[in-house]
Amino acid sequence: MKASENIDSATLTMRSISLYERSRTGNGRGPGYRYFGAAKKLPGVRELFEKPPELRKRRTRYDIYKRIDASYYGYRDEEDGVLARVEGPAEAKMRAE
């Protein structure tokens, strides 16, 4: 049994979430932008609330995969010769053992 004057963690969590949600302006700007009373009617602030948030076009799976080529999978690593210079001595040492 819990005492009636004690607050359980679920109630506390719900209160903190509702405080967070109330602090948001509703236009996606986050909890850092709070304007109260007459401050909402200032010239620059009014436009912030009137302007809808800009929507970015979601990238489709096709858009993501069309940028992937053979170099993404590492097939062109040996073309510039850097890999051979770095791994050459280590490979020779392993073969000698």
DSSP string, 38-82: GGGGSHHHHHHHHSPPPPPPPPPHHHHHTT--TTTTTTTTTSSSH
3 is a domain residue: no
Q: Are residues 50 and 60 in the same domain?
A: no
61 is a domain residue: yes
Q: Are residues 13 and 50 in the same domain?
A: yes
What's the domain count of the chain? 2
1 is a domain residue: no
> What gap in Å lies between CA 81 and CA 71, rounded to an integer?
14
The label of the residue with tokens 């001595």 reads: 89
Write down the mean pLDDT value for the chain: 74
**pLDDT value at 16 more than 70:** no
Q: How far is CA 75 from CA 3, 7, 63, 69, 81, in A?
A: 67, 60, 21, 9, 13
pLDDT at residue number 82: 87
Q: Are residues 25 and 62 in the same domain?
A: no
> What gap in Å lies between CA 85 and CA 77, rounded to an integer?
12
Q: pTM for the whole thing?
A: 0.31
